[in-house]
Structure 1
Amino acid sequence: MKELGTAANHSLLWFTAASVLALRKGPTRRAAWRGLAAIAGASALANAVGKPLFPRRRPAVELIPEARRYRNPPRSSSFPSGHAASAAAFATAVAMESPRTARVVAPLAAAVAISRVHTGVHWPSDVVGGALLGAAVAGATRRWWPVPQEVYDGPGVEVDLPRLGDGAGLVLLINPGSGLEGEDASDQVAQAWPEATVVYPKEGVDLIDQFAAVVDGLGTAVQAVGVAGGDGTVAAVAAVAAVRKLPLLVIPGGTLNHFARDIRVDGPTAATMAAEHGTGIEVDLGSIEIDGRIERWFLNTASLGGYPDLVGYRERWEQRWGKWPAAAAALVRVLRESRPLTVRIDGRVRQVWLLFVGNGVYTPRGFAPMIRGGLHHGTLDVRYVRADVRFSRLRFFLAAVTGALHHSRTYVQRECAELVVQVAGEPVKAATDGEVGPAGRRFRFAAHCGTLRVYRPRLSRVQP
């Protein structure tokens, strides 16, 4: 018990556990980051707020058997237990993201809490108070960082698609440069669909034009198109699929894979299963018309102003710092460096720092959209930060950090099916799915309900 309590000093035990959990992508990695965020909040409240406000003497050392005593027992206030707060915060956070992992973490957290009473450094009520505090802080992280399974509102319209079998009729684009390590999916594709037509990006050639030329050249022999790569590559192939009314097969191969995650295709196995059974869903696509003539499709997001820079900084830093610290740092940098745009939105002239348009409704409701509940509502998620309010950058940042954006005059968020934005002054460039597009002054964003059919396994199907 003494050794366990010592291992949990300064949350070193939980930092080690988080490091192990973060080795694997998916729920365990999210659990690690959420756990660390919860520990930071719980530890700060317990030690910097709780102990000074509720000073309490610790149990008398001489009443504890010598074998159970610490040689140098702590001398700070006994209430609440910081060890119990951190343990409960980490275990609760892990349970929110990965209940299976919590079966291992929760008993360890309980043992740490019990050890504080067993070794005589805390009263039982100290441990209970600390545990309640830690669990509450972990639960409060939902306000800024929603739990994916709580956001998801169903798959949308399920459809039957062509069964691909050995890959005959499938044209598949592989981007070997996607992802952190640039893993090439060629071997997986050759094994799963040996008869598929495989295309690789050519340097200096527009990806959409290149892929569209291959698809058009094969004519009616094409039954479906596919892509193995990141979000930018997926968006390019999706544009071809939408125009030619072809179903899309997505094999996640990028760093973050936002679209694949949102349609619940979490890896090659899910993609192979859906292609084998011919199951899929209809999802929405967003479009942006620039100066009445240039139309671009987007799967995830479109933006004007500093938002493309914000996303770029966040994605660059989040692998090292985690999403929320990276998002906060990116927000500070963009607000410091960007220049406001004068725009007309809904007939009103505004000055804005940045404008975000999502294909589908994102959560959380603050300005760090991460997760979509569904892609079948024909809705755009519009968010912008006003620059025509006094101390707008400071007010916005403080509201974002405290989770009070819905009360801030600097932040506007709404949902609609169509949005027209007129920019005053020099033309500006729009970004779609992380790719910077042509410049213009008039931008028309629209949601197209059920435009794209995507392969995805039935959630109720029992996996072999």
Structure 2
Amino acid sequence: MDLLPFRPRRRGIRQIGQGLGTLDREVFEAVAESPSPLIDAVMPRLTKAADHSKLWFAIAAGLAAFGNPSVKRGAMRGVLTLGVTSLVTNQGAKRVWRRERPNRILVPLARQTRRAPTSNSLPSGHSASAAAFAVGVGLENAPTGLGLALLAGLVGMSRVAVGAHYPGDVLAGFGLGAGIAVLGARVVPPIVEERLPGAAPLRQNAPERPRGAGVTVVVNPASGSGTGAQVLDEVREALPDAEIVELGEDDDVAEVFRSAARRAEVLAVGGGDGTVAVAASIALEEDVPLAVLPAGTFNHFAKDIGCDTTAKTVAAIQQGTVSCVDVVCLNEKQMVVNTASIGAYPQFVQTREKLEHRIGKPLAGIYAMFHTLRRDQPVRISYDNQTLQTSLFFLGNSIYLPSGFAPSRRTRMDDGLIDIRILDTGRPLAKLRIIAALMFGRLTRSPLYRELRVPEFSFRSVDGPTVLALDGEVGTEVTEASFSVRYRALPVFRPEP
């Protein structure tokens, strides 16, 4: 007897479903019977362009080629989200609930596509992919995402207009694609540029050098798998009056830079981030401004000051645009321009960067984290009256984005802060908990994750000397390390913000 009240409820739910189905068919028939030369001309072309996501891949290529950093990140996120959505839709969702396609006879011949789809009608794969791409891009760059959302809506409408889907199929596809994009943002949070009030950039007056007079350029031709040699050619052509010094395998790098700085009005460096750190230290000692040419493999420092191409650095030298950035001083003697780390963080970065161009940064980050934690060599450190065991420790010059354990970029390099990220791997089931938190996008809320933004930081290695990696170069051993910011100490040539 207790089950009887549930029968009317089930009957009511069934009636609601039948009513929605009837409404869905009536809307489809109304669209099909509406004469419109514009729909006849536009919608079949639009739905054909979206076949196999060709439209979205073409747009992503354009965004990646011509967009700003947030648009480029959006293009990458959109493509990855689209791929996941396509897999979930075609291999999962379409097999859950069987629904026949609409009757194409009702659709005017001018609107019909050549081939009639044979898979289940619910949900619309085109609509799911469209929503996934648009929302994925919008999570990184809202204005671009809004424009793509309007285009995605038109793609969904085209599926109804050509007779491929009912409106309800399209709405279900939109919901599925948008939901997967939002879930992806929980796993890999988008970069949100913080717009905290800050001091204006500190600029310095510098003379224009249209031909590079007074500039000494020190380049490692072998850096960046041959990029250094290409940079040399570009510099010789653009700055014919500049002095060129080529680093050899047996040269004392610090001594070469010191000698060059003493006879230069501008010290320019082309090499990896480790070489840039040496040059920055010498430039500070000799009180000359630094110019950075992107001749390394990753060129993190050059990219973050806006000099991601040789042409931008050369233009800054020619125009005399100089502003000051922070550097971090280790134990009062060694300069850090990008990052310092202990434990397995260098291995984590190398694994992630090796794979990110093939499978994308989000999946590469998850795999690199799992791979690193599985083979880690933990280090016990003591700081701020506490001791913990860590396998991944990151310290950055200025604030990195996004939060979490995949910092990738800086929006400014003169905020006077050190960015510190630590994973505590000494607690029970720590590795499993970290991987789970990473997969569900909750790492920043985990008690195993520490994030600090401070002007000074120091730690002690409890069990003796540990290897410290500085700016990608591994090999410095320390027992005690003290880091402090030298606020806006380094003048560099960079484009106007």
Same fold, judged at TM 0.5 (above) = yes
Q: Does 1:230 align with 2:275?
A: no
2:240 pairs with one of 191, 194, 211? 194
Q: Does 1:90 align with 2:133?
A: yes
**Residue 379 of structure 2 contacts residue 466 of structure 2 at CA under 8 Å; is this kept in 1?**
no
What do you get for the CA RMSD once the two structures are aligned? 3.4
Amino acid at match of 1:198: I
* Bigger mean CA deviation after superposition, 113-122 or 19-28: 19-28
- The aligned residue for residue 319 of structure 2 is 277
CA shift for structure 1 position 237:
1.5
- The aligned residue for residue 283 of structure 2 is 241
- The aligned residue for residue 262 of structure 1 is 304
Q: 1:244 to 1:141 in 2, by over 3 A?
A: farther
Q: 1:456 to 1:136 in 2, by over 3 A?
A: farther
In 1, Cα distance between equivalents of 2:476 and 2:56: 48
Q: TM-score, normalised by structure 2?
A: 0.79
Q: Does 1:175 align with 2:215?
A: no
Q: Secondary structure at 1:73's aligned position in 2?
A: coil
Q: Secondary structure at 1:374's aligned position in 2?
A: coil
* Bigger mean CA deviation after superposition, 296-305 or 191-200: 191-200
Q: Does 1:444 align with 2:482?
A: yes
Q: 1:73 to 1:344 in 2, by over 3 A?
A: same
**Residue 94 of structure 2 contacts residue 119 of structure 2 at CA under 8 Å; is this kept in 1?**
no
Q: Secondary structure at 1:233's aligned position in 2?
A: helix
CA shift for structure 1 position 442:
1.0
In 1, Cα distance between equivalents of 2:209 and 2:319: 8
Q: Does 1:455 align with 2:497?
A: no
- Count of aligned pairs between the two proteins: 449
- The aligned residue for residue 383 of structure 2 is 345
After superposition, the C-alpha distances for 1:344-366 in whole angstroms (9 at most, x for unaligned) are 12121111112110111111111
- The aligned residue for residue 116 of structure 1 is 159
In 1, Cα distance between equivalents of 2:144 and 2:260: 46
List alignment gaps of at least 5 residues for structure 2: 1-42
- The aligned residue for residue 421 of structure 2 is 383
Amino acid at match of 2:386: R
- The aligned residue for residue 462 of structure 1 is none
CA shift for structure 1 position 295:
3.1
After superposition, residues 303-314 of structure 1 pair within 5 angstroms as: 303-314=341-352
Q: Secondary structure at 1:185's aligned position in 2?
A: helix
Amino acid at match of 1:397: I
- The aligned residue for residue 122 of structure 2 is 78
* Bigger mean CA deviation after superposition, 36-45 or 238-247: 36-45
Amino acid at match of 1:121: A
Q: 1:110 to 1:396 in 2, by over 3 A?
A: same
After superposition, the C-alpha distances for 1:240-259 in whole angstroms (9 at most, x for unaligned) are 11222221112223343222
- The aligned residue for residue 173 of structure 2 is 130
Q: 1:378 to 1:75 in 2, by over 3 A?
A: same
In 2, Cα distance between equivalents of 1:241 and 1:137: 49
**Residue 281 of structure 1 contacts residue 454 of structure 1 at CA under 8 Å; is this kept in 2?**
yes
**Residue 52 of structure 1 contacts residue 77 of structure 1 at CA under 8 Å; is this kept in 2?**
no
CA shift for structure 1 position 47:
5.8
CA shift for structure 1 position 384:
0.9
Q: Does 1:213 align with 2:268?
A: no
Q: 1:122 to 1:362 in 2, by over 3 A?
A: same
Q: 1:233 to 1:305 in 2, by over 3 A?
A: same
After superposition, residues 369-408 of structure 1 pair within 5 angstroms as: 369-408=407-446
After superposition, the C-alpha distances for 1:259-287 in whole angstroms (9 at most, x for unaligned) are 22222223233222222222221111012
In 1, Cα distance between equivalents of 2:309 and 2:195: 18
Q: 1:77 to 1:363 in 2, by over 3 A?
A: same
Q: Secondary structure at 2:428's aligned position in 1?
A: coil
Amino acid at match of 1:184: Q
In 1, Cα distance between equivalents of 2:136 and 2:225: 27
1:36 pairs with one of 79, 86, 95? 79
In 2, Cα distance between equivalents of 1:313 and 1:89: 28
- The aligned residue for residue 205 of structure 2 is 160
CA shift for structure 1 position 302:
0.4
After superposition, the C-alpha distances for 1:7-51 in whole angstroms (9 at most, x for unaligned) are 645545545665676678975754442221221354466567866
CA shift for structure 1 position 433:
0.9
* Bigger mean CA deviation after superposition, 308-317 or 120-129: 120-129
In 2, Cα distance between equivalents of 1:126 and 1:7: 19
Amino acid at match of 1:160: N
Q: Secondary structure at 2:128's aligned position in 1?
A: helix
Q: Secondary structure at 1:371's aligned position in 2?
A: coil
In 2, Cα distance between equivalents of 1:273 and 1:197: 17
Q: TM-score, normalised by structure 1?
A: 0.84
Bigger Rg over Cα: 2
Q: 1:136 to 1:456 in 2, by over 3 A?
A: farther
List alignment gaps of at least 5 residues for structure 1: 460-464
In 2, Cα distance between equivalents of 1:405 and 1:82: 32
Amino acid at match of 1:315: E
* Bigger mean CA deviation after superposition, 44-53 or 371-380: 44-53
In 2, Cα distance between equivalents of 1:238 and 1:333: 34
Amino acid at match of 2:402: P
Amino acid at match of 1:323: K
After superposition, the C-alpha distances for 1:321-365 in whole angstroms (9 at most, x for unaligned) are 322222222211111111211111212111111211011111111
User: Sequence identity of aligned pairs in percent?
Assistant: 36
CA shift for structure 1 position 233:
2.8
In 1, Cα distance between equivalents of 2:78 and 2:267: 40
In 1, Cα distance between equivalents of 2:277 and 2:425: 31
Amino acid at match of 1:366: G
* Bigger mean CA deviation after superposition, 106-115 or 35-44: 106-115
- The aligned residue for residue 29 of structure 2 is none
After superposition, the C-alpha distances for 1:187-242 in whole angstroms (9 at most, x for unaligned) are 221222222221222203342232223323x2xxx211112333333222112112
- The aligned residue for residue 250 of structure 1 is 292
Q: Secondary structure at 1:377's aligned position in 2?
A: coil
**Residue 156 of structure 1 contacts residue 374 of structure 1 at CA under 8 Å; is this kept in 2?**
no
**Residue 227 of structure 1 contacts residue 249 of structure 1 at CA under 8 Å; is this kept in 2?**
yes
Q: 1:169 to 1:18 in 2, by over 3 A?
A: same
Q: Secondary structure at 2:230's aligned position in 1?
A: coil
